[in-house]
Structure 1
């Protein structure tokens, strides 16, 4: 294909056909998801402040931009996840095809690692679906059971109580802990790769980037798991 023909393709297609382009897609969408996790954790930690603060936060999210804000965020995150997963799978297949002619122990070990990543990724995906059904779609929490009055006497959904009740189930907490462990394992390596792809990781800065990646993963992990453990073990909110 000559340059003139290639230029007629939409820019998205040209980026996707390039392995560098797909690595950039993984890095940029990964950055979006990393920032989302930090913001999501900050909001979730309001559960410790109390029912009113947490419910005010939940109400703000659902009424931001007259209710459109939360859907814009959801659609944006969905697009980021789809492109992140699709680009990662495409790059993995491409790399695997390139290694097929090299049947040595390192290749076998890499294949085992890839299989482990696939299963851990599927577990995280299953958790995300479950988490959305559990707390966003609220299949287990009918609205009539969680109606609360705000400080002005108006009715609103008691999101704080829903979280307390949701994490009072040991099986839910166990699944949550497993998923968070796998997610933060991905984060520890993924953030380093993101810095590398974006050209922010050099030989000199590598130790700092590695420490930052692992530190971020640990903070996210401890922050998220502290909530279900506090509710289940220490009976927080009950």
Structure 2
């Protein structure tokens, strides 16, 4: 006589061991945290600030004439030679700059979204008391991002530059700033940059822990001096072209 056997209930699934659970990397944890995003913004902001200072000093060579300015532009393409091939340094710098801009912008956007979600209405009055530079940081970043695209099309690829001549950067700068829109776009972008640098430098110092009660005044002075120097330095070129001093 055969007896029917009861089907055995399925064994409960074994919870995954700690080793089986994918753990986020240190970089992932840093990126997800608010402090991490602020640190990324601070570091990339300081890297871009260093580039801006070097770029401004190079721009000022236009006041020494076409030979000096075009010679400086040609030298940039040979930096690192013979270890690096022609223009390799420029492309490395461009890739690093684009990476810094993207990381800076993404971190700023995500922090802005977190800030809006965490502060619905009770902080409205406090936020209204923020400085003009603080309140325009977001739009200043948008303006600078759009300007970066224009600047590349204007003086790197020469796509929108009137009377562009390849290999003649002095002539191309003069051709760009000789138009009201070329000089106007540049001036608006530089003014946005002034506000962005002034507040951004101060924010970076706070994030990286460089500020304290004794250094606050000195850091604010450095931020204001940097933004003023960059503004004067960058604006001097289009103003000189538009007034006929450089032609």
Aligned equivalent of 2:229, options 219, 223, 237: 219
2:49 is aligned, of 21, 27, 34, to: 34
Conserved? CA contact 1:32–1:80, under 8 Å:
yes
Q: What residue number does 1:53 align with?
A: 68
Q: TM-score, with normalisation over the residues of structure 2?
A: 0.83
Paired residues in the alignment total 224
Please say if residues 25 and 84 of structure 1, whose CA atoms lie closer than 8 Å, have aligned partners that are also in contact.
yes
Deviation (angstroms), 1:166: 1.1
Match of 2:199 among 169, 189, 205: 189
Indicate conservation of the 8 Å contact 1:168/1:232, yes or no: yes
Which of these two proteins has the greater Rg computed from alpha carbons? 2
Partner of 1:236: 245
Give the superposition deviation at 1:4: 7.9
Point out 4+ residue stretches in structure 1 off by more than 2 angstroms: 3-8, 62-65, 103-110, 112-121, 140-143
State the Cα distance separating 1:117 from its structure 2 match: 3.5
Change beyond 3 A, Cα 1:89–1:39? same
Residue 128 of structure 1 aligns to a residue whose secondary structure is helix
Instruction: Give the drift of 1:114.
Output: 7.5
* Alpha-carbon distance in 2 for matches of 1:180, 1:86: 22
Q: Contact (CA 8 Å) 1:6, 1:14: kept in 2 or not?
A: no
Q: Which residue of 1 aligns with 2:215?
A: 205
TM-superposed CA distance for 1:142, in Å, is: 8.3
Task: Say which structure is richer in helix.
Answer: 1
Decide whether aligned partners of structure 1 residues 220 and 69 sit closer, same or farther in structure 2, where only a CA change above 3 A counts. same
Shift of 1:90: 1.1
**In the alignment, structure 1 residue 169 sits paired with structure 2 residue 189:** no
Other-structure match for 1:43: 58
Which of 101, 122, 132 in structure 2 is aligned with 1:81? Answer: 101
Instruction: In structure 1, list runs of 5 or more residues that go unmatched.
Output: 148-156
| Worse overlay, 64-73 or 5-14 | 5-14
Give the drift of 1:121: 2.3
Distance in 2 (CA, whole Å) between partners of 1:32 and 1:192 is 15
State the Cα distance separating 1:15 from its structure 2 match. 0.7
Within 2, Cα distance between the matches of 1:114 and 1:162? 35
